[in-house]
Structure 1
Amino acid sequence: MTNSAAVLATIRQLTPKVAARSEEIETARRLPADLAQELAQAGLFRMVVPEAYGGLELHPAVVVEAVETLSRADGATGWCVMIGASTAMCSAWLPESQARVIYGAPNVITGGVAAPMGRAELVEGGYRVTGRWAWASGSQNCHWLVGGAVVTKDGVPQMRGPAPEVRLFLFPSSDVTLHDTWHASGLCGTGSGDMEVRDVFVPADRSLSLITERPHVARPLYAFPAFGLLAVGIPAVALGIARRAIDELTALAHQKKLMTHGGQLLAKRAAVQEAVAEAEATLRAARAFLLETVNTTFEAATRGEVTVKHRAELRLSYTHAMRSAARVVDRMYDAAGGTAVYRASPLQRCLRDIHVATQHAMVAPSTLELIGSVLLGVEANTVML
């Protein structure tokens, strides 16, 4: 059995257990430690770690399917796996010695926040980093955490062309303070509180740049656009949540009777039938576009021929999938009527979760402006594509 088939088979075995613990995860506002370790043992946090370091090095389309399937069972679990798996791409950009130290243990979990919310002062042998980052999902179960920071010298930002130099830094969890700030409307079980470091020394070889540096591992997966790989699981979470919403509305429609319509089943209402049909088409079209661009871009990466247009269309498919999934969930929630507002309804959970996911900067509506500039042939800063 290939790595891909084995991972997907394992996830299908795990999803009933994950779904059964969904309320526990929501109430705890974090992923339970034992479940996180079970997911780690299944290799889900090593999906994009190089095979040379004991990882699975999966095709990004398989990562999409894996995260989507988990998110259908529980959105918060899918989100935590997405964050852990995507930050592990750092293993391919780190020097081999550091990559093996950090990612050598088979059950290691990494997480963190790439946004440059910190400051990294250049010192002999490395950097002294101070910063506080919001949205550090799954951080309670992480052994290492990543934080983005602007590089400074004597307090002055170091420039790389017109912009300050930005790097990612890896900290052992013992150097990081976690703040319980995650009192959110949705994705409650992700434990996405703040992480903070104060004047922590990071050796130079434990930092990296996805913008100015090439990966140390020369494999097709790491020729895939770096920010595309970092974000590939985000639309997958959305697709899984939206699929769950359709599942839940379909089940409800065969149970709920409408007293105002002579006891007719909800499934018999024309408006509900239309809503389900449109939701199905919307979701499957978004998923097809996502997988098309992921596969096309990966094929280009294997040839070393990834263009700016590939990168733009890839990111377009991510944002489109997120926005489409949100529309699907909204439609299913509306179609359910008053039943959906109760805490016991999975549809209200889907609604809350998807509308937190939409706020991620990598799939925000503003990404469409940059993508549209590329598609129109207008000059634009495409560094972050």
Structure 2
Amino acid sequence: MTSLPPHPLLATAVELAPRLSARSAEFESARRLPPDVIAEFARAGFFRMLIPEAYGGLELHPALSFQVIEALSQADGAAGWCAMIGASTGLSSAWLPESVARAVFSSPEVIIGGVAAPLGRAERVEGGYRVTGRWPWASAGHHCHWLVGGAVVTEGGNPRFVREGVPETRLLYFPAESVTLHDTWFSLGLCGTGSGDMEVRDLFVREDHAFTLLAPPRVSRPLYGFPFGLLGHAIPAVALGIARRAIDELLTLARQKTVLVERRLLAARPAVQETVAEADAEVRAARAFLLEVIHATFDASTKGPVSMRARADLRLAMTHGTRAAARAVDRVYEAAGGPAVFHTHALQRCLRDIHTLTQHAMVARPTLEITGGVLLGFDPPLPNL
């Protein structure tokens, strides 16, 4: 696996970690990150990690952005998730016309978010689209200057198809003031992400503010040949960060808690020792697999279009990394015993956060059917990978 030199943004994430962890309860209570944290993230450059350098972004190697998101998520799952959404959605700037991208990202502290799932309807009209739709999971939407929504393209009220059974879709940029945000985020975990619904009604969107990831990017750089799918490698970065935090919490607890009946530290219990070993190995192995595939896929993107098999490998590593992280958290939560059930203990938050994250369609179990199909020689539709 190729190693990369340390990046200042990773050092910033590590430096911020203790302060983020100390405010986790505040984030949960508010059900969104506070403005001062979002502003600090913007100033640091977390939301610009995947924006082209030509537009003022950092254009980081995907392995570096992975590590930054992982470090923030180890501190607090909600903080890592919000940074991930802003950074990953900013990737879409490479598909916009240059004049639009420069206007949207004219400020280095602009924040963009949204939902890529094509849950809206975009009726073709002269000069663009009339868009109506409502999208759940609009994380950190309250702090965004622009929001992106996915929509099925219609004409005369009827869906357009690119081929039989496959509707034409677009991702569309909405100015935040044109979007209604609904306070619907009452969730099991990732409570501080503010991931309520966003809605637009009959909103005109210019043609040059709409794009599809199935078209070639307008910025011809290796990063934009990497098959992110907007969220790409970033969801497992959050998951693995949460899992590492959970393991660290068990290590701390086990060295402090005395099992009264046994009159020894929890750390001396063989079952706990086995759990720590298994969880640590599972997280490190999943992380190594994912980083290996990220490097290999990025190297392939520097040489030309990424093959379907390489895309399948990346999706497999994403889903495996996320689900391995969840298994590790389950193990350490159970080993911790009674103290982990209380809201004052970080382990219960890790458990809730990881099992909210695993419900995301990008890393849910059905993705294994797609990647397994490729390994067995089937050729799935391109949008799936």
TM-score by length of 1: 0.97
Partner of 1:199, secondary structure, is: strand
| 1:238 equivalent in structure 2 | 239
Give 1:173-188 correspondences, 5 Å limit: 173-188=176-191
| 1:192 equivalent in structure 2 | 195
Matched AA of 1:264: R
The answer to whether the 8 Å contact 1:118/1:131 transfers is yes
Aligned equivalents of 1:375, 1:382: Cα separation in 2? 15
Give 1:254-333 correspondences, 5 Å limit: 254-261=255-262, 263-333=263-333
Where do 5+ consecutive residues of structure 1 fail to align? Answer: none
The answer to whether the 8 Å contact 1:210/1:226 transfers is no
The superposition leaves residues 190-218 of structure 1 with CA deviations (integer Å, 9 ceiling, x where unpaired) of 0000000001110000010012x111100
Q: Once the 2 structures are TM-superposed, how far is the Cα of residue 380 of structure 1 from its aligned partner?
A: 2.6
Counterpart pick for 1:113 among 96, 107, 115: 115
Matched AA of 2:376: L
| 1:168 equivalent in structure 2 | 171
Aligned equivalents of 1:33, 1:144: Cα separation in 2? 16
Aligned equivalents of 1:226, 1:36: Cα separation in 2? 24
Where do 5+ consecutive residues of structure 2 fail to align? Answer: none
Aligned equivalents of 1:349, 1:230: Cα separation in 2? 23
The superposition leaves residues 328-376 of structure 1 with CA deviations (integer Å, 9 ceiling, x where unpaired) of 0000000001111111111000000000000010001000001001011
Matched AA of 1:170: Y
The answer to whether the 8 Å contact 2:240/2:287 transfers is yes
The answer to whether the 8 Å contact 2:225/2:305 transfers is no
Q: Once the 2 structures are TM-superposed, how far is the Cα of residue 3 of structure 1 from its aligned partner?
A: 10
| 2:66 equivalent in structure 1 | 64
| 2:360 equivalent in structure 1 | 360
Aligned equivalents of 2:65, 2:6: Cα separation in 1? 9
Distance 1:96 1:20, change over 3 A: same
Distance 1:3 1:38, change over 3 A: farther
Matched AA of 1:201: F
Q: Once the 2 structures are TM-superposed, how far is the Cα of residue 260 of structure 1 from its aligned partner?
A: 1.4
The superposition leaves residues 265-308 of structure 1 with CA deviations (integer Å, 9 ceiling, x where unpaired) of 00000000000000010000000000000000000001114110
Q: Once the 2 structures are TM-superposed, how far is the Cα of residue 379 of structure 1 from its aligned partner?
A: 3.6
Counterpart pick for 2:158 among 135, 156, 169: 156
Q: Once the 2 structures are TM-superposed, how far is the Cα of residue 103 of structure 1 from its aligned partner?
A: 1.2
The answer to whether the 8 Å contact 1:146/1:171 transfers is yes
Partner of 1:106, secondary structure, is: coil
Partner of 2:384, secondary structure, is: coil
| 1:222 equivalent in structure 2 | 224
The answer to whether the 8 Å contact 2:239/2:354 transfers is yes
Aligned equivalents of 2:227, 2:122: Cα separation in 1? 25
RMSD (CA atoms): 1.1
Aligned equivalents of 2:269, 2:6: Cα separation in 1? 41
Q: Once the 2 structures are TM-superposed, how far is the Cα of residue 384 of structure 1 from its aligned partner?
A: 2.0
Counterpart pick for 2:96 among 91, 94, 97: 94
The answer to whether the 8 Å contact 1:75/1:237 transfers is yes
The answer to whether the 8 Å contact 1:3/1:56 transfers is no
The answer to whether the 8 Å contact 1:89/1:230 transfers is no
Q: Once the 2 structures are TM-superposed, how far is the Cα of residue 381 of structure 1 from its aligned partner?
A: 2.2
Aligned equivalents of 2:96, 2:34: Cα separation in 1? 29
TM-score by length of 2: 0.97
| 2:211 equivalent in structure 1 | 208
| 2:10 equivalent in structure 1 | 8
